[in-house]
Amino acid sequence: MTVFAVRDIGLRIAFPLWNANSLIAIIWGTLLFKELHRAGWLRWLGVVGGAVVMFAGALLLSLVSTSHSASEHPIRGVASALGAGLMFGSQYIPFRKAYITGLNPFTFLTFFTFGEMTTMTIVAVSFTGGWWPFWHQLTINSTILFWPLLGGFMWVVGDLFQNYAAKYVGISRGIPLSNTNQLWGLIWATMVFSELRGLTSNVYAQVAGGSLLMAAGALAIAFSSATANEYSSWKKAAQRESDLYGIEPAYVVARMEGRDVHASSARRTWLDWVLIGGATCIFVGFGVIARVPQMEIQWG
């Protein structure tokens, strides 16, 4: 959906629309996992208000564009972006459901990645017209495959941090904070690729205003930590999941607190080393045949 949204309405409009996933995550966290229950109105104001302010900042930053080309399919693009936001916000339901019952983030992310790769392979094969055209696209672009592979590696590392955020601070706080990625994108675009060089003072004012809004919203959420009363509501949600799946309550509580009641000094097996070695060889192999893309990078 994000690809279709960017194609039809451009990144400057699509990005803030799918960043509405913060608001979706707050809704699901409150309704399903008792986040913000008994938190007090100041916490509610900090989290919800912070998410709204961040969305406003993202919207302001999205207006910073030198492209004014009209879209042929604006409704389809907006629908795709909103659908992406709904999916991004709703995907954290299994995240939180898994972690509230004590699942290790590494385990969850492994299965999540397999599901993601399988889905994208099916979509890619379908849209390219079959396995042969799909394979042909891969072979003719083999010299640049290392870069999306490296991007995927960085994405998984970031996703791991986001998983731990969902585990320990909940999706109503962790997901809005992770949406500060738009600020990092802006920093790279400005400092490395000089995308704003030579533009008017109004554009710089929009950038500064949007960045400050996003930072203020993030700070509001960061300082709205869970109270003891709210944490007791989390435990009730955990008890519900424990009863539903027949999991030992002591195990669930320990995992919520970051403890492992069954900790042991496990040793790596030969299968672990095969997986590590295989993944390393894949990266090295694609790195050897990779071609450095031609980009005019200007630091400062």
Q: Using one digit for the tens of pLDDT, what is the confidence trace for 79-104?
A: 888 888 888 888 888 888 877 777 77
DSSP state of 180: T
Report residue 193 CA to chain centroid gap: 23
Say how far apart CA 32 and CA 90 lie, in whole Å.
11
Give residue 280's pLDDT. 92
For 46, the 3-state DSSP assignment is helix
Token pair listed for 238: 């955990």
The burial of 194, by beta-carbon neighbours within 10 Å (0-12 exposed, 13-18 middle, 19 or more buried), is given as middle
CB 242 within 8 A of CB 100: no
CB 251 within 8 A of CB 261: yes
Token pair 């009863």 in the structure block, residue: 243
**Closest among 241, 218, 67, 98 to 167, alpha carbons compared:** 98
CB neighbours of residue 57 within 10 Å: 26
Give residue 62's pLDDT. 67
Token pair 């590392």 in the structure block, residue: 157
| Residue spans of the chain under pLDDT 70 | 10-13, 15-16, 62-72, 193, 195-196, 257-266, 295-300
